């Protein structure tokens, strides 16, 4: 009899906890609603032919017709220095799109450069996936308050302080994220690749160490595609203006945030790193033509932002675009990816290419070189 009573009490307790959790989530969703649009639309601004980028790239791009100029950025220090070079050279616009922006040394250096650009009149649009903004709410709110700066959060978490509650109440939506990484300067030159903004990608100051990655700086016809992709995501319903999610930021609070960043950058290791970025060997590497440039046909492939709502199927999925872009390689197919999960469909596709006589080379992580087991 006592055992049955304990079982009943146990079930009642579990049922009560489930009901309490359900009520909590309902209250959380009702009290933290996502702002509804439509929000003001904008598009990539391209600097004139007389601008700094067009002038610097004129000789390099002359006579290449449909090909784009591609410059590999393998060294992490060069990769951040290149971004700072583009920010410093911008005269009209800067469009930045990232999955993660960390509140650390590299993140602070980039923010400082953006503030300087905004101060001299450059229009800045910053789009960040909200899954990668942990600890950055007030910093982003302060940045958004500046003249010439617009910040948007992609697919944001309505509950800011306990984001895991968002996953409990809206997992299907919040589990789909924007991993796109691009920075466009004056609509004339861009940097794309695997690196987000943070010490994890550019130096060894983070506790987790340095991620080995690769970026490319590009100029030429492909810039139109990159700008179209950015505008598509910026103007998509899931891209919410930061002020709607984070509220405003008083001048005194913004001043405190900037001073905190300055203290971080005054630390010996951070100061050494910032000085290395300004070394003459790393300055003007993109616009002066010092580094090796590859001229090649370039095509941008990306998911449509409506994928986060599960609305894409069949030929509209990224995999299908990739298959169509690759076509039938005649001699060689080289794949570089940190995550190789081809599934049966992908294996069948690669087998067809191999049987045709083309060589397939794949570079990916070993188990010892990834943090995603």
Tell me the per-residue pLDDT of 126-149, one tens digit each, with 9 for 90 and over. 999 999 998 999 999 999 999 999
Tokens matching residue 126:
């910053």
Q: What is the pLDDT, as a whole number, of residue 6?
A: 64
User: For residues 255 and 263, what is the distance between their CA atoms, to the nearest angstrom?
Assistant: 12
Low pLDDT (below 70) residues in the chain: 1-3, 5-7, 16-33, 283-284, 314-315
Q: Are 358 and 332 within 8 A, CB to CB?
A: yes
Q: What is the pLDDT, as a whole number, of residue 32?
A: 55
- Could you give the domains of the chain? 52-294 (3.30.870.10), 328-369 (no CATH)
The dihedrals phi and psi of 208, each to the nearest 5 degrees, come to -85, -5
Q: Are 342 and 369 within 8 A, CB to CB?
A: no
Rg of the chain over Cα atoms, rounded to whole angstroms, equals: 23
Tokens matching residue 359:
């060589």
Q: What is the pLDDT, as a whole number, of residue 24?
A: 54
User: For residues 260 and 302, what is the distance between their CA atoms, to the nearest angstrom?
Assistant: 37
Residue whose entry in the numeric block shows the structure tokens 């959380």? 28
Q: What pTM, to 2 d.p., does this model score?
A: 0.89
Q: What is the pLDDT, as a whole number, of residue 173?
A: 84
Q: What is the pLDDT, as a whole number, of residue 251?
A: 92
Please, what is the angle between helix 251-266 and helix 105-119, to 10°?
130
Q: What is the pLDDT, as a whole number, of residue 156?
A: 94
Q: What is the pLDDT, as a whole number, of residue 33?
A: 67
């Amino acid at each position: 009899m006592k055992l049955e009573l304990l079982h009943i009490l146990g079930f009642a307790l579990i049922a009560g906890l489930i009901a309490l959790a359900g009520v909590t989530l309902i209250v959380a969703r009702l009290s933290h609603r996502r702002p509804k649009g439509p929000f003001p639309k904008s598009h990539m601004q391209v600097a004139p032919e007389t601008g700094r980028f067009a002038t610097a790239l004129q000789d390099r791009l002359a006579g290449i017709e449909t090909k784009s100029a591609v410059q590999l950025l393998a060294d992490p220090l060069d990769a951040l220095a290149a971004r700072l070079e583009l920010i410093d050279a911008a005269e009209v616009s800067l469009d930045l799109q990232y999955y993660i922006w960390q509140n650390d040394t590299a993140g602070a250096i980039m923010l400082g450069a953006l503030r300087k650009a905004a101060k001299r009149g450059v229009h800045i649009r910053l789009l960040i996936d909200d899954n990668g903004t942990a600890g950055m709410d007030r910093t982003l709110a302060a940045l958004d308050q500046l003249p010439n700066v617009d910040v948007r959060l992609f697919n944001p978490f309505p509950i800011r302080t306990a984001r895991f509650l968002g996953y409990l109440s809206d997992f299907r939506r919040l589990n789909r994220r924007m991993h796109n990484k691009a920075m466009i300067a004056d609509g004339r030159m861009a940097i794309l690749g695997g690196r987000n903004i943070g010490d994890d990608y550019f130096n060894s100051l983070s506790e987790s160490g340095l991620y080995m990655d690769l970026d490319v700086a590009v100029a030429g016809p492909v810039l139109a595609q990159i700008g179209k992709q950015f505008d598509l995501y910026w103007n998509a319903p899931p891209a919410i203006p930061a002020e709607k999610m984070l509220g405003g930021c008083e001048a005194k609070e913004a001043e405190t945030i900037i001073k905190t960043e300055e203290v971080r950058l005054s630390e010996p290791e951070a100061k050494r790193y910032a000085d290395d970025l300004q070394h003459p060997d790393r300055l003007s590497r993109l616009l002066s033509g010092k580094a090796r440039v590859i001229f090649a046909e370039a095509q941008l492939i990306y998911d449509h932002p409506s994928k986060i709502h599960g609305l894409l199927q069949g030929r509209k999925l990224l995999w299908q675009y990739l298959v169509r872009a690759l076509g039938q390689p005649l001699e060689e197919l080289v794949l570089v990816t940190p995550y190789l999960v081809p599934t049966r469909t992908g294996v069948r596709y690669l087998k067809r290419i191999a049987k045709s006589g083309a060589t397939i080379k794949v570079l990916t992580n070993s188990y010892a070189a990834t943090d995603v087991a």
